[in-house]
Amino acid sequence: MTGLTPGHGQALPADAIRTAQTGLGIELGSTRVKAVLTGPDHRVLAEGGFNWENQFEDGRWTYPVDLIWHALASAYADLAGDVRQRYGLELERVGGIGISAMMHGYLAFGADGQSLVPFRTWRNTNTGPAAAALSRRLGINLPLRWSLAHLYQALLDGEPHVSELNSITTLAGYVHRRLTGQRVIGVGDASGMAPLASAYGVSPDDGLPEVGPFLGPGQAGGNVSGPRPAAPPSWDGAALNAFDELAKAAAGAAGRPRTPPLVALLPRPVLAGARAGRLTEAGAALLDRSGKLEPGAPLCPPEGDAGTGMVATGSVAPRSGNVSVGTSVFAMVVLERALAQPYPEIDLVATPDGRPVAMVHCNNGASELGAWCGLFSEVVAAVGQPVTEASLYASLFAAALDGDPAAGGLTAVNYLSGEPITHLAEGRPLLLRQPGSQLTLPDFMRAQLFTVFATLRLGMDVLTAEQVKLDRMFAHGGVFRTARVAQRFLAAALGVPVTVGPVADQGGAWGAAVLSWFARQRAGRSLAQYLEESVLAGASLSTSEPDPADVTGFEAYLGRFKAALPAVQAATAVI
């Protein structure tokens, strides 16, 4: 899927770029904004990026709005520079665009379209009271990260901006609206904002097979893979009415005017395969500050990073799943039946084409691992032996393979922020060892890699108890760039084979580009069929089976990890 050699009968890369037979995918991840340009066979023709970090301001994690547009323009400029260097061409037109971004969070706007408060990301955990109240009222697990929890917490706190609200959206929805003028959102991203209706699908006029219904409030048990009447995707009316009642009470208690009905604040959910607007002249100027990019390219519905990760790994059919690792780490498992009951560890969301998904989301992923690798980079530079980031990571990850199966008694806890799955409101990264433990590089690196997957495993245990079946688990994210290291440890943590493809480190940006192609070329096929037949067929895949020694070692490590969590709680009280 990657590389510059076209498939049989496909245009050469330069010809594809000249004639706009391309898909542009952009993903705004937690630590990097990635942009990829793909050809007709979905191979990556060029790529670009921009590194950024969230900021902790006034007690909340955020990215300033100006930084969002600087990051997008910088990533696009880097991509255009790559096109220029590889092919001697200016990037003036693209065939389609897909926008992806970190899911959840809260962007609030007034009637004039201006931002009312700084972007509140998924990482914030101040929404506990709101999430608990909404979960009780709606009869579902409504996570702290969801946009609805952020909005209701603002109401409970009596924040002045809520009386001026005209719309709310996610980061992907916001970027898409500025590029196209359309206030829409992909179904996968929408499912992380507020509850969706329990029965929707693709219109029969589209000629696509029906998909299983999304599970809304109050729906537990039963088979969800059979046919049912198709309907346009929509928000769950009963849930929205219940929220409006709570919002009215909260506004009255604060002595403030009530907000507009929730349905008026939310963007319109749209299924994958739809065309969701075109790049406007103003949108083109936002992306390409050089002024060379022409307007008019069609955009697919904007999606969250979870949805584009599922697309990138071909994990949109029942009994398939994928794990995405970045600042956060999460698993998406496409369900073939409903869960027996709501679980606080499990979010019910959706694939971009509307199938129900069990999501295990951990706020803390590979950030602490990255910080340690950065420290080692400074050490080697200080002794006059600088190395590239890629070679340093490869060497450090390879060292973990020589470690004791249980990491030599070392225990790392990677909690930079709060972690809802383990009920911790704040985080403090820790490295613990017993007096007899040897502090060696192999054991240290194994502990740091194990901790990336430890909390994920705790959430996945819930699905195991529910007897949720998985035929395959794919993984993507930068930690999998070094072959068969993080992949091998994830297989040990989950006890299932883990497969990595050639776009493991491009993930959601490539998935967004694929969705832009699907909106133009679906030809009566479902998203799963399109991925199987036109995208992933013949892909070079690498699969790691669980190694018995690693499995035993991880179980011992996990026991220490769980025992160390009270130490994190104690650390937050004193540091």
Domains along the sequence of the chain with CATH: 313-501+541-575 (3.30.420.40)
| Phi, then psi, of 530 in degrees rounded to 5 | -60, -45
Instruction: Mention every residue, 6+ apart, whose C-beta is less than 8 A from residue 412.
Output: 368, 429, 430, 431, 432, 444, 447, 448, 450, 451
Confidence of residue 208 (pLDDT cuts 50, 70, 90): very low
Q: Which of 251, 243, 261 is nearest to 163 (CA)?
A: 251
Q: How far apart are the first and last CA of the chain?
A: 47
pLDDT at 198: 62
pLDDT at 357: 93
Residue 364 identity (one-letter amino acid) = N
Alpha helix (H) ranges present in 201-348? 237-254, 262-265, 281-287, 305-312
pLDDT at 506: 67
What is the rounded average pLDDT of the residues 504-517? 86
pLDDT at 224: 30
pLDDT at 11: 61
| Residue 308 in this model has a pLDDT that exceeds 60 | yes
Q: Which of 267, 138, 261, 119 is nearest to 193 (CA)?
A: 267
pLDDT at 503: 61
- What would the two tokens of residue 132 be? 């608990």
| Phi, then psi, of 497 in degrees rounded to 5 | -65, 140
pLDDT at 12: 84
What is the rounded average pLDDT of the residues 160-182? 96
pLDDT at 537: 79
pLDDT at 504: 54
SS3 225: coil
- Total-model pTM: 0.83
Element (H, E) at 138: helix 128-138
Cα–Cα distances in angstroms (integers) from residue 459 to residues 30, 142, 465, 494, 563, in the given order? 22, 15, 10, 10, 16
DSSP per residue over 370-410, as a string? HHHHHHHHHHHHHTT----HHHHHHHHHHHHTTS-TTGGG-
Confidence of residue 31 (pLDDT cuts 50, 70, 90): confident
CA dihedral sign, ordered 70, 154, 159, 247: positive
Angle at 465 between CA 138 and CA 551, to 5 degrees: 130
Confidence of residue 10 (pLDDT cuts 50, 70, 90): low
What is the rounded average pLDDT of the residues 350-365? 93
Confidence of residue 252 (pLDDT cuts 50, 70, 90): confident
What is the rounded average pLDDT of the residues 3-11? 40
Residue 482 identity (one-letter amino acid) = T
Please tell me the least confidently modeled range out of 14-28, 217-231, 422-436, 460-474: 217-231
Q: What is the mean pLDDT of the chain?
A: 89
List pLDDT tens digits, range 89-129.
999 999 999 999 999 999 999 999 999 999 999 989 899 99
List pLDDT tens digits, range 541-574.
889 999 999 999 999 999 999 999 999 999 999 9
What is the rounded average pLDDT of the residues 389-416? 96
CA dihedral sign, ordered 86, 90, 95, 96: positive
CA dihedral sign, ordered 526, 527, 529, 535: positive
| Residue 20 in this model has a pLDDT that exceeds 70 | yes
CA–CA separation, 250 and 451 (whole Å) = 40
Q: Which of 265, 65, 68, 301 is nearest to 169 (CA)?
A: 265
Question: Beta partners for 412?
Answer: 431
Question: Beta partners for 167?
Answer: 109
Burial (Cβ within 10 Å: 0-12, 13-18, ≥19) of residue 10: middle
pLDDT at 109: 97
List pLDDT tens digits, range 420-477.
899 998 999 999 998 988 899 999 999 999 999 999 999 999 999 999 988 889 998 8
| Residue 8 in this model has a pLDDT that exceeds 90 | no
Q: How long a stretch of residues is the chain?
A: 575
- What would the two tokens of residue 91 be? 């990037």
What is the rounded average pLDDT of the residues 217-228? 32
Question: Beta partners for 27?
Answer: 34, 100
pLDDT at 7: 39
- What would the two tokens of residue 301 be? 């519905």
- What would the two tokens of residue 365 be? 């992923």
% of the chain beyond a pLDDT of 70: 91
List pLDDT tens digits, range 71-89.
999 999 999 999 999 999 9
Cβ contact 170:107 at 8 Å: yes
532 DSSP 8-state letter: I
Residue whose token pair is 């070094």: 482
The maximal CA–CA distance of the chain, rounded, in angstroms, is 69
- What would the two tokens of residue 72 be? 């997008």
| Residue 203 in this model has a pLDDT that exceeds 50 | no
What is the rounded average pLDDT of the residues 353-372? 93
| Residue 217 in this model has a pLDDT that exceeds 70 | no
Residue whose token pair is 């699969």: 543
CA–CA separation, 501 and 76 (whole Å) = 24
Pairing type for strands 97-101 and 303-304 reads: parallel
278 DSSP 8-state letter: B
pLDDT at 227: 32
